[in-house]
Structure 1
Protein backbone atom coordinates (compact mmCIF):
# COMPACT_ATOMS: atom_id res chain seq x y z
CA UNK A 1 0.00 0.00 0.00
CA UNK A 2 1.31 3.45 -0.95
CA UNK A 3 0.05 6.42 1.08
CA UNK A 4 0.72 10.01 -0.04
CA UNK A 5 0.65 12.72 2.61
CA UNK A 6 0.12 16.41 1.87
CA UNK A 7 -0.11 19.05 4.55
CA UNK A 8 -0.73 22.70 5.32
CA UNK A 9 -1.86 23.97 1.91
CA UNK A 10 -3.46 27.08 3.50
CA UNK A 11 -5.93 27.51 0.66
CA UNK A 12 -7.34 31.02 0.14
CA UNK A 13 -10.35 32.36 -1.75
CA UNK A 14 -9.81 32.55 -5.49
CA UNK A 15 -7.33 35.29 -6.39
CA UNK A 16 -6.08 35.83 -2.82
CA UNK A 17 -2.46 35.08 -1.89
CA UNK A 18 -1.40 33.31 1.31
CA UNK A 19 0.17 35.91 3.60
CA UNK A 20 0.02 38.26 0.61
CA UNK A 21 2.95 36.56 -1.13
CA UNK A 22 2.32 32.87 -1.95
CA UNK A 23 -0.15 31.45 -4.47
CA UNK A 24 -1.14 28.59 -2.18
CA UNK A 25 -4.00 27.47 -4.44
CA UNK A 26 -1.72 27.01 -7.45
CA UNK A 27 0.89 25.31 -5.28
CA UNK A 28 -1.65 22.82 -3.93
CA UNK A 29 -2.79 22.09 -7.46
CA UNK A 30 0.86 21.45 -8.38
CA UNK A 31 1.23 19.14 -5.38
CA UNK A 32 -1.79 17.12 -6.48
CA UNK A 33 -0.37 16.92 -10.01
CA UNK A 34 2.96 15.76 -8.56
CA UNK A 35 1.30 12.95 -6.63
CA UNK A 36 -0.68 11.83 -9.67
CA UNK A 37 2.48 11.79 -11.81
CA UNK A 38 4.36 9.36 -9.55
CA UNK A 39 5.44 6.11 -11.21
CA UNK A 40 3.15 4.29 -8.80
CA UNK A 41 -0.24 5.80 -8.08
CA UNK A 42 -0.88 6.13 -4.34
CA UNK A 43 -3.73 4.10 -2.92
CA UNK A 44 -4.68 6.86 -0.52
CA UNK A 45 -4.08 10.57 0.04
CA UNK A 46 -3.85 11.97 3.58
CA UNK A 47 -4.05 15.72 4.23
CA UNK A 48 -2.88 16.54 7.73
CA UNK A 49 -4.51 19.85 8.53
CA UNK A 50 -4.54 23.58 7.79
CA UNK A 51 -6.41 22.91 4.59
CA UNK A 52 -7.37 26.59 4.58
CA UNK A 53 -5.89 29.70 6.13
CA UNK A 54 -8.82 31.48 7.81
CA UNK A 55 -11.49 28.79 8.13
CA UNK A 56 -13.85 30.60 5.75
CA UNK A 57 -16.54 28.78 3.72
CA UNK A 58 -15.22 30.21 0.45
CA UNK A 59 -11.80 28.76 1.21
CA UNK A 60 -13.30 25.32 1.78
CA UNK A 61 -15.24 25.66 -1.47
CA UNK A 62 -11.90 26.23 -3.21
CA UNK A 63 -10.36 23.17 -1.48
CA UNK A 64 -13.19 20.98 -2.74
CA UNK A 65 -12.86 22.46 -6.23
CA UNK A 66 -9.15 21.59 -6.28
CA UNK A 67 -9.68 18.13 -4.81
CA UNK A 68 -12.31 17.36 -7.43
CA UNK A 69 -9.44 16.70 -9.85
CA UNK A 70 -7.91 13.87 -7.79
CA UNK A 71 -8.43 10.23 -8.70
CA UNK A 72 -7.10 9.11 -5.32
CA UNK A 73 -9.37 8.56 -2.29
CA UNK A 74 -8.53 11.06 0.44
CA UNK A 75 -8.81 11.42 4.20
CA UNK A 76 -8.57 14.76 6.01
CA UNK A 77 -8.04 16.09 9.52
CA UNK A 78 -8.28 19.72 10.71
CA UNK A 79 -5.43 22.01 11.68
CA UNK A 80 -5.28 25.09 13.86
CA UNK A 81 -6.17 27.36 10.91
CA UNK A 82 -9.27 25.32 10.12
CA UNK A 83 -12.76 26.04 11.48
CA UNK A 84 -14.28 22.82 12.77
CA UNK A 85 -17.89 23.38 11.74
CA UNK A 86 -17.03 24.90 8.36
CA UNK A 87 -14.62 21.99 7.84
CA UNK A 88 -17.35 19.50 8.76
CA UNK A 89 -19.81 21.16 6.39
CA UNK A 90 -17.33 21.25 3.51
CA UNK A 91 -16.56 17.55 3.88
CA UNK A 92 -20.05 16.45 4.82
CA UNK A 93 -19.96 13.84 2.05
CA UNK A 94 -17.07 12.02 3.73
CA UNK A 95 -18.71 9.20 5.75
CA UNK A 96 -15.81 8.72 8.17
CA UNK A 97 -16.17 12.22 9.66
CA UNK A 98 -18.38 12.43 12.78
CA UNK A 99 -21.49 14.58 12.53
CA UNK A 100 -20.86 16.37 15.82
CA UNK A 101 -18.07 16.99 18.33
CA UNK A 102 -14.33 16.77 17.67
CA UNK A 103 -13.32 15.31 14.31
CA UNK A 104 -11.80 12.03 15.52
CA UNK A 105 -12.28 9.06 13.18
CA UNK A 106 -11.08 5.55 12.34
CA UNK A 107 -11.03 4.00 8.85
CA UNK A 108 -10.64 0.22 8.53
CA UNK A 109 -10.97 -0.17 4.75
CA UNK A 110 -7.27 -0.58 3.93
CA UNK A 111 -4.40 -2.96 4.75
CA UNK A 112 -3.29 -0.35 7.29
CA UNK A 113 -5.81 0.96 9.83
CA UNK A 114 -5.94 4.77 9.86
CA UNK A 115 -6.98 6.90 12.83
CA UNK A 116 -7.46 10.65 12.53
CA UNK A 117 -7.34 12.90 15.59
CA UNK A 118 -8.60 16.44 16.03
CA UNK A 119 -5.88 18.16 18.07
CA UNK A 120 -7.33 21.66 17.65
CA UNK A 121 -9.04 23.33 20.66
CA UNK A 122 -11.63 25.82 19.42
CA UNK A 123 -10.17 29.28 18.96
CA UNK A 124 -6.63 28.23 19.90
CA UNK A 125 -3.48 27.58 17.87
CA UNK A 126 -1.74 25.10 20.16
CA UNK A 127 -2.52 21.38 20.13
CA UNK A 128 -4.48 19.44 22.75
CA UNK A 129 -6.86 16.47 22.95
CA UNK A 130 -9.22 16.42 25.90
CA UNK A 131 -9.89 13.48 28.24
CA UNK A 132 -12.91 12.32 26.23
CA UNK A 133 -10.85 12.29 23.02
CA UNK A 134 -8.02 10.37 24.67
CA UNK A 135 -10.51 7.85 26.04
CA UNK A 136 -11.97 7.43 22.54
CA UNK A 137 -8.46 6.86 21.18
CA UNK A 138 -7.63 4.32 23.88
CA UNK A 139 -10.83 2.36 23.15
CA UNK A 140 -10.23 2.48 19.41
CA UNK A 141 -6.64 1.30 19.68
CA UNK A 142 -7.59 -1.48 22.09
CA UNK A 143 -10.07 -2.93 19.59
CA UNK A 144 -7.15 -4.27 17.53
CA UNK A 145 -3.61 -4.51 18.90
CA UNK A 146 -2.22 -6.47 15.96
CA UNK A 147 -3.18 -4.76 12.71
CA UNK A 148 -0.67 -2.08 11.57
CA UNK A 149 -2.06 1.33 12.48
CA UNK A 150 -1.21 4.88 11.45
CA UNK A 151 -2.28 7.86 13.58
CA UNK A 152 -2.77 11.36 12.16
CA UNK A 153 -2.88 14.60 14.14
CA UNK A 154 -1.98 18.11 13.07
CA UNK A 155 0.31 19.08 15.96
CA UNK A 156 3.46 16.97 16.44
CA UNK A 157 3.67 15.85 20.09
CA UNK A 158 7.23 17.01 20.71
CA UNK A 159 9.39 20.13 20.96
CA UNK A 160 10.85 21.01 17.56
CA UNK A 161 13.53 23.39 18.82
CA UNK A 162 12.17 26.17 16.60
CA UNK A 163 11.03 28.72 19.20
CA UNK A 164 8.18 30.34 17.29
CA UNK A 165 6.68 26.94 16.46
CA UNK A 166 7.03 25.51 19.94
CA UNK A 167 4.84 28.34 21.27
CA UNK A 168 2.00 26.56 19.44
CA UNK A 169 3.10 22.99 20.13
CA UNK A 170 0.96 20.12 21.37
CA UNK A 171 0.45 20.74 25.09
CA UNK A 172 0.22 18.13 27.88
CA UNK A 173 1.91 15.45 25.80
CA UNK A 174 2.26 12.81 28.51
CA UNK A 175 -1.42 11.82 28.51
CA UNK A 176 -1.37 11.21 24.74
CA UNK A 177 1.96 9.41 24.98
CA UNK A 178 0.60 7.01 27.59
CA UNK A 179 -2.31 6.05 25.34
CA UNK A 180 -0.17 5.54 22.24
CA UNK A 181 2.56 3.64 24.09
CA UNK A 182 0.00 1.06 25.20
CA UNK A 183 -0.68 0.16 21.54
CA UNK A 184 2.14 -2.01 20.16
CA UNK A 185 0.94 -1.86 16.55
CA UNK A 186 1.14 1.90 15.88
CA UNK A 187 3.53 2.04 12.92
CA UNK A 188 3.64 5.82 12.48
CA UNK A 189 2.24 9.05 13.82
CA UNK A 190 1.81 11.55 10.97
CA UNK A 191 1.63 15.29 11.58
CA UNK A 192 1.74 18.65 9.83
CA UNK A 193 1.83 22.13 11.41
CA UNK A 194 5.59 22.75 11.31
CA UNK A 195 5.93 23.09 7.49
CA UNK A 196 9.07 20.93 7.64
CA UNK A 197 10.08 17.28 7.71
CA UNK A 198 10.99 16.16 11.22
CA UNK A 199 11.39 12.69 12.73
CA UNK A 200 11.34 11.66 16.36
CA UNK A 201 11.06 8.37 18.19
CA UNK A 202 8.16 8.77 20.61
CA UNK A 203 5.80 6.55 22.63
CA UNK A 204 7.34 3.38 21.22
CA UNK A 205 6.78 4.46 17.61
CA UNK A 206 7.97 7.12 15.15
CA UNK A 207 6.50 10.60 14.59
CA UNK A 208 6.95 12.05 11.10
CA UNK A 209 6.00 15.58 10.08
CA UNK A 210 5.21 16.60 6.52
CA UNK A 211 6.39 19.64 4.55
CA UNK A 212 3.82 22.21 3.52
CA UNK A 213 2.71 22.37 -0.09
CA UNK A 214 3.06 26.17 0.19
CA UNK A 215 5.90 27.52 2.36
CA UNK A 216 8.74 26.14 4.44
CA UNK A 217 9.14 27.50 7.97
CA UNK A 218 12.82 28.33 8.45
CA UNK A 219 15.02 26.18 10.66
CA UNK A 220 16.15 28.65 13.29
CA UNK A 221 17.15 27.28 16.68
CA UNK A 222 18.22 30.42 18.53
CA UNK A 223 15.78 31.17 21.39
CA UNK A 224 15.26 34.75 20.18
CA UNK A 225 14.80 33.87 16.49
CA UNK A 226 11.90 35.76 14.85
CA UNK A 227 9.26 33.90 12.79
CA UNK A 228 10.49 33.39 9.24
CA UNK A 229 9.57 31.33 6.17
CA UNK A 230 10.59 30.84 2.56
CA UNK A 231 8.63 29.77 -0.49
CA UNK A 232 10.18 26.36 -1.02
CA UNK A 233 11.48 23.79 -1.01
CA UNK A 234 8.05 22.20 -1.08
CA UNK A 235 7.31 18.52 -0.77
CA UNK A 236 5.09 15.70 0.36
CA UNK A 237 5.62 12.41 2.16
CA UNK A 238 5.17 8.93 0.70
CA UNK A 239 4.62 6.06 3.13
CA UNK A 240 5.05 2.61 1.62
CA UNK A 241 3.58 -0.31 3.55
CA UNK A 242 4.47 -3.91 2.78
CA UNK A 243 3.35 -6.88 4.85
CA UNK A 244 6.80 -8.47 4.70
CA UNK A 245 8.92 -5.35 5.16
CA UNK A 246 6.74 -2.96 7.17
CA UNK A 247 6.56 0.79 6.62
CA UNK A 248 9.15 3.03 4.97
CA UNK A 249 8.67 6.77 4.45
CA UNK A 250 10.13 9.02 1.75
CA UNK A 251 10.23 12.78 1.19
CA UNK A 252 9.17 13.62 -2.37
CA UNK A 253 10.15 17.13 -3.46
CA UNK A 254 7.73 19.07 -5.63
CA UNK A 255 9.21 20.96 -8.57
CA UNK A 256 11.36 20.63 -11.70
CA UNK A 257 15.01 19.67 -11.24
CA UNK A 258 17.89 18.84 -13.59
CA UNK A 259 18.01 15.27 -14.85
CA UNK A 260 17.25 12.42 -14.96
CA UNK A 261 20.74 11.03 -15.45
CA UNK A 262 21.60 7.40 -16.12
CA UNK A 263 23.22 6.59 -12.80
CA UNK A 264 22.12 5.89 -9.24
Structure 2
Protein backbone atom coordinates (compact mmCIF):
# COMPACT_ATOMS: atom_id res chain seq x y z
CA UNK A 1 0.00 0.00 0.00
CA UNK A 2 1.32 3.40 -0.97
CA UNK A 3 1.77 6.08 1.64
CA UNK A 4 -1.24 8.34 2.17
CA UNK A 5 -1.37 11.66 0.38
CA UNK A 6 -0.71 14.37 2.97
CA UNK A 7 -3.44 16.87 2.22
CA UNK A 8 -2.91 19.11 5.22
CA UNK A 9 -0.43 18.42 7.98
CA UNK A 10 -1.82 19.25 11.44
CA UNK A 11 -0.22 22.41 12.80
CA UNK A 12 -1.33 22.00 16.40
CA UNK A 13 0.39 18.72 17.23
CA UNK A 14 -2.77 16.71 16.64
CA UNK A 15 -2.47 13.23 15.16
CA UNK A 16 -2.97 13.08 11.40
CA UNK A 17 -6.20 11.29 10.52
CA UNK A 18 -6.04 8.71 7.74
CA UNK A 19 -9.09 8.96 5.51
CA UNK A 20 -9.98 6.42 2.83
CA UNK A 21 -12.27 8.02 0.24
CA UNK A 22 -14.12 6.38 -2.65
CA UNK A 23 -17.21 7.19 -4.68
CA UNK A 24 -19.59 5.70 -7.21
CA UNK A 25 -20.00 2.22 -5.76
CA UNK A 26 -23.28 1.83 -7.70
CA UNK A 27 -24.52 -1.13 -5.66
CA UNK A 28 -27.00 -3.12 -7.78
CA UNK A 29 -29.77 -5.51 -6.80
CA UNK A 30 -28.37 -8.15 -9.15
CA UNK A 31 -24.74 -7.64 -8.11
CA UNK A 32 -22.63 -10.78 -8.09
CA UNK A 33 -19.91 -9.24 -5.96
CA UNK A 34 -19.84 -7.40 -2.66
CA UNK A 35 -17.67 -4.72 -1.08
CA UNK A 36 -17.14 -6.59 2.17
CA UNK A 37 -13.51 -7.46 1.49
CA UNK A 38 -12.76 -3.92 0.33
CA UNK A 39 -14.34 -2.43 3.46
CA UNK A 40 -12.36 -4.86 5.59
CA UNK A 41 -9.13 -3.81 3.88
CA UNK A 42 -9.96 -0.14 4.32
CA UNK A 43 -10.64 -0.70 8.02
CA UNK A 44 -7.04 -1.85 8.44
CA UNK A 45 -5.59 1.04 6.41
CA UNK A 46 -7.58 4.08 7.54
CA UNK A 47 -9.28 5.73 10.50
CA UNK A 48 -12.34 6.95 8.57
CA UNK A 49 -14.13 5.82 5.41
CA UNK A 50 -15.66 8.56 3.24
CA UNK A 51 -18.14 7.73 0.45
CA UNK A 52 -18.76 10.42 -2.15
CA UNK A 53 -22.18 9.49 -3.51
CA UNK A 54 -23.80 7.20 -6.07
CA UNK A 55 -23.80 4.61 -3.33
CA UNK A 56 -26.62 2.79 -5.12
CA UNK A 57 -27.21 2.31 -8.83
CA UNK A 58 -30.90 3.18 -9.04
CA UNK A 59 -31.66 4.58 -5.60
CA UNK A 60 -33.61 1.49 -4.56
CA UNK A 61 -34.02 0.65 -0.86
CA UNK A 62 -32.86 -2.92 -1.51
CA UNK A 63 -29.60 -1.59 -2.96
CA UNK A 64 -29.11 0.51 0.17
CA UNK A 65 -29.78 -2.57 2.30
CA UNK A 66 -27.12 -4.51 0.40
CA UNK A 67 -24.60 -1.73 0.99
CA UNK A 68 -25.54 -1.61 4.66
CA UNK A 69 -24.93 -5.36 4.88
CA UNK A 70 -21.46 -4.98 3.33
CA UNK A 71 -20.65 -2.11 5.68
CA UNK A 72 -20.95 -4.49 8.62
CA UNK A 73 -17.43 -5.52 7.64
CA UNK A 74 -16.22 -1.94 8.13
CA UNK A 75 -14.97 -1.35 11.66
CA UNK A 76 -14.21 2.37 11.31
CA UNK A 77 -16.62 5.34 11.16
CA UNK A 78 -18.26 5.99 7.78
CA UNK A 79 -19.16 9.46 6.48
CA UNK A 80 -21.03 9.85 3.19
CA UNK A 81 -23.10 11.99 0.86
CA UNK A 82 -25.62 10.85 -1.72
CA UNK A 83 -25.25 11.22 -5.50
CA UNK A 84 -27.64 11.66 -8.39
CA UNK A 85 -28.16 7.90 -8.83
CA UNK A 86 -29.37 7.67 -5.25
CA UNK A 87 -32.35 9.87 -6.21
CA UNK A 88 -33.38 7.92 -9.31
CA UNK A 89 -36.24 5.85 -7.83
CA UNK A 90 -37.75 8.62 -5.71
CA UNK A 91 -36.98 6.65 -2.54
CA UNK A 92 -34.25 8.91 -1.16
CA UNK A 93 -35.89 9.10 2.27
CA UNK A 94 -35.86 5.29 2.55
CA UNK A 95 -32.28 5.07 1.29
CA UNK A 96 -31.23 7.71 3.81
CA UNK A 97 -33.01 5.97 6.68
CA UNK A 98 -31.44 2.60 5.86
CA UNK A 99 -27.92 3.98 5.71
CA UNK A 100 -28.27 6.04 8.87
CA UNK A 101 -29.60 2.97 10.67
CA UNK A 102 -26.38 1.28 9.55
CA UNK A 103 -24.52 4.02 11.48
CA UNK A 104 -23.39 5.93 8.39
CA UNK A 105 -22.94 9.66 9.03
CA UNK A 106 -24.93 10.63 5.94
CA UNK A 107 -24.47 14.36 5.38
CA UNK A 108 -26.83 16.58 3.41
CA UNK A 109 -25.87 20.10 4.37
CA UNK A 110 -24.58 19.07 7.80
CA UNK A 111 -21.25 18.62 9.50
CA UNK A 112 -19.86 16.02 11.87
CA UNK A 113 -16.64 16.17 13.86
CA UNK A 114 -14.60 12.99 14.31
CA UNK A 115 -11.22 12.95 16.04
CA UNK A 116 -10.82 16.73 15.77
CA UNK A 117 -11.58 16.83 12.03
CA UNK A 118 -14.75 18.44 10.69
CA UNK A 119 -16.48 16.60 7.85
CA UNK A 120 -18.85 18.75 5.77
CA UNK A 121 -21.05 17.26 3.08
CA UNK A 122 -23.53 18.19 0.37
CA UNK A 123 -24.36 16.53 -2.91
CA UNK A 124 -23.68 19.60 -5.01
CA UNK A 125 -25.16 20.06 -8.47
CA UNK A 126 -24.43 20.86 -12.11
CA UNK A 127 -23.89 24.20 -13.83
CA UNK A 128 -20.44 24.27 -15.40
CA UNK A 129 -17.16 25.92 -14.59
CA UNK A 130 -15.49 29.31 -14.71
CA UNK A 131 -16.66 31.82 -17.28
CA UNK A 132 -18.79 29.13 -18.93
CA UNK A 133 -20.91 28.56 -15.84
CA UNK A 134 -24.62 28.57 -16.64
CA UNK A 135 -26.36 31.82 -15.70
CA UNK A 136 -29.91 32.42 -14.55
CA UNK A 137 -31.34 33.75 -17.80
CA UNK A 138 -34.08 32.69 -20.19
CA UNK A 139 -36.61 29.94 -19.70
CA UNK A 140 -37.99 29.11 -16.24
CA UNK A 141 -36.48 25.63 -16.53
CA UNK A 142 -32.98 27.13 -16.85
CA UNK A 143 -33.60 29.45 -13.92
CA UNK A 144 -34.79 26.50 -11.82
CA UNK A 145 -31.64 24.56 -12.66
CA UNK A 146 -29.37 27.46 -11.73
CA UNK A 147 -31.35 28.06 -8.53
CA UNK A 148 -30.68 24.46 -7.50
CA UNK A 149 -26.96 24.92 -8.13
CA UNK A 150 -26.93 28.12 -6.08
CA UNK A 151 -28.94 26.46 -3.32
CA UNK A 152 -26.43 23.62 -2.98
CA UNK A 153 -23.58 26.13 -2.72
CA UNK A 154 -25.48 28.05 -0.05
CA UNK A 155 -26.16 24.86 1.90
CA UNK A 156 -22.44 24.08 1.75
CA UNK A 157 -21.64 27.56 3.05
CA UNK A 158 -24.12 27.24 5.91
CA UNK A 159 -22.59 23.90 6.88
CA UNK A 160 -19.05 25.29 6.70
CA UNK A 161 -20.01 28.03 9.13
CA UNK A 162 -20.90 25.37 11.70
CA UNK A 163 -17.42 23.82 11.72
CA UNK A 164 -15.36 24.43 14.83
CA UNK A 165 -12.52 22.02 14.09
CA UNK A 166 -9.20 23.36 12.79
CA UNK A 167 -9.10 20.72 10.06
CA UNK A 168 -11.94 20.23 7.59
CA UNK A 169 -12.68 17.76 4.81
CA UNK A 170 -15.37 18.77 2.33
CA UNK A 171 -17.33 15.87 0.81
CA UNK A 172 -19.23 16.34 -2.45
CA UNK A 173 -20.63 14.20 -5.23
CA UNK A 174 -20.39 16.77 -8.01
CA UNK A 175 -17.04 18.36 -8.86
CA UNK A 176 -16.18 21.91 -7.75
CA UNK A 177 -13.49 22.39 -10.43
CA UNK A 178 -12.92 21.43 -14.06
CA UNK A 179 -9.43 19.94 -13.48
CA UNK A 180 -10.75 16.76 -11.85
CA UNK A 181 -13.30 16.06 -14.59
CA UNK A 182 -10.65 16.33 -17.32
CA UNK A 183 -10.81 13.15 -19.37
CA UNK A 184 -14.58 13.21 -19.66
CA UNK A 185 -16.15 14.39 -22.96
CA UNK A 186 -16.13 18.18 -23.11
CA UNK A 187 -19.81 18.16 -24.02
CA UNK A 188 -20.81 16.88 -20.58
CA UNK A 189 -18.57 19.11 -18.44
CA UNK A 190 -21.51 21.34 -17.40
CA UNK A 191 -23.29 18.26 -16.02
CA UNK A 192 -20.36 17.13 -13.87
CA UNK A 193 -20.22 19.97 -11.36
CA UNK A 194 -20.15 23.68 -10.72
CA UNK A 195 -17.63 26.38 -9.88
CA UNK A 196 -20.17 27.76 -7.41
CA UNK A 197 -19.03 25.00 -5.05
CA UNK A 198 -15.39 26.09 -5.35
CA UNK A 199 -16.33 29.72 -4.77
CA UNK A 200 -17.92 28.69 -1.48
CA UNK A 201 -15.03 26.44 -0.47
CA UNK A 202 -12.52 29.23 -1.04
CA UNK A 203 -14.25 31.40 1.56
CA UNK A 204 -12.99 29.00 4.22
CA UNK A 205 -9.81 27.22 5.26
CA UNK A 206 -10.17 23.57 4.28
CA UNK A 207 -7.74 20.67 4.42
CA UNK A 208 -9.03 18.89 1.31
CA UNK A 209 -12.07 18.30 -0.88
CA UNK A 210 -13.21 14.93 -2.25
CA UNK A 211 -15.86 14.18 -4.87
CA UNK A 212 -16.95 11.50 -7.34
CA UNK A 213 -19.35 11.44 -10.31
CA UNK A 214 -16.76 11.89 -13.08
CA UNK A 215 -15.80 8.25 -13.67
CA UNK A 216 -13.31 9.10 -16.41
CA UNK A 217 -12.00 12.25 -14.79
CA UNK A 218 -8.63 13.03 -13.24
CA UNK A 219 -7.52 12.37 -9.68
CA UNK A 220 -6.15 15.68 -8.45
CA UNK A 221 -6.60 19.42 -8.86
CA UNK A 222 -7.14 22.52 -6.78
CA UNK A 223 -9.60 25.36 -6.41
CA UNK A 224 -8.63 28.89 -7.50
CA UNK A 225 -7.95 29.58 -3.82
CA UNK A 226 -5.56 26.62 -3.54
CA UNK A 227 -7.69 23.97 -1.80
CA UNK A 228 -6.65 20.45 -2.82
CA UNK A 229 -9.41 18.55 -4.64
CA UNK A 230 -9.46 14.79 -5.25
CA UNK A 231 -11.76 12.89 -7.60
CA UNK A 232 -12.17 9.58 -5.80
CA UNK A 233 -14.70 7.97 -8.15
CA UNK A 234 -14.02 4.26 -8.04
CA UNK A 235 -12.67 3.91 -11.59
CA UNK A 236 -10.35 6.93 -11.47
CA UNK A 237 -6.69 5.88 -11.15
CA UNK A 238 -5.26 6.75 -7.75
CA UNK A 239 -1.87 6.52 -6.02
CA UNK A 240 -1.40 2.99 -4.73
CA UNK A 241 -3.54 1.43 -7.44
CA UNK A 242 -6.51 0.73 -5.17
CA UNK A 243 -10.12 1.83 -5.81
CA UNK A 244 -9.93 4.27 -2.89
CA UNK A 245 -7.72 7.25 -2.15
CA UNK A 246 -5.86 7.35 1.12
CA UNK A 247 -5.42 10.86 2.51
CA UNK A 248 -3.86 12.25 5.67
CA UNK A 249 -5.85 15.09 7.16
TM-score by length of 1: 0.66
Unaligned runs of 5+ in 1: 18-22, 219-232, 242-264
Structure 1 counterpart SS, 2:66: helix
Q: Which residue of 1 aligns with 2:199?
A: 178
CA-CA distance at 1:9 after TM superposition: 1.1
Deviations along 1:219-250, one digit per CA (max 9) or x if unpaired, are xxxxxxxxxxxxxx751111113xxxxxxxxx
Task: Extract structure 1 runs of 4+ deviating beyond 6 A.
Answer: none
Whether 1:74 aligns to 2:78 is: yes
Q: Which of 168, 174, 180 is matched with 2:191 structurally?
A: 168
C-alpha contact 2:40 2:73 (8 A) present in aligned 1? no
Q: d(CA) in 1 for partners of 2:211 and 2:19?
A: 14
Q: Which has the higher contact order (CA 8 A, sep 6+)?
A: 2
CA-CA distance at 1:105 after TM superposition: 1.5
Unaligned runs of 5+ in 2: 1-16, 127-144
Change (3 A) 1:76 1:142: closer
Change (3 A) 1:179 1:43: same
Q: Which residue of 2 aligns with 1:222?
A: none
Whether 1:207 aligns to 2:229 is: yes
Count how many residue pairs are aligned between Structure 1 and Structure 2: 201
CA-CA distance at 1:142 after TM superposition: 3.6
Q: d(CA) in 1 for partners of 2:67 and 2:81?
A: 13
Q: d(CA) in 2 for partners of 1:57 and 1:154?
A: 20
Structure 1 counterpart SS, 2:198: helix
CA-CA distance at 1:37 after TM superposition: 4.2
CA-CA distance at 1:118 after TM superposition: 1.9
State the superposition RMSD in angstroms: 2.9
Give the structure with the larger helix fraction: 2
C-alpha contact 1:128 1:170 (8 A) present in aligned 2? no
Change (3 A) 1:217 1:152: closer
CA-CA distance at 1:53 after TM superposition: 0.4
Change (3 A) 1:34 1:150: same
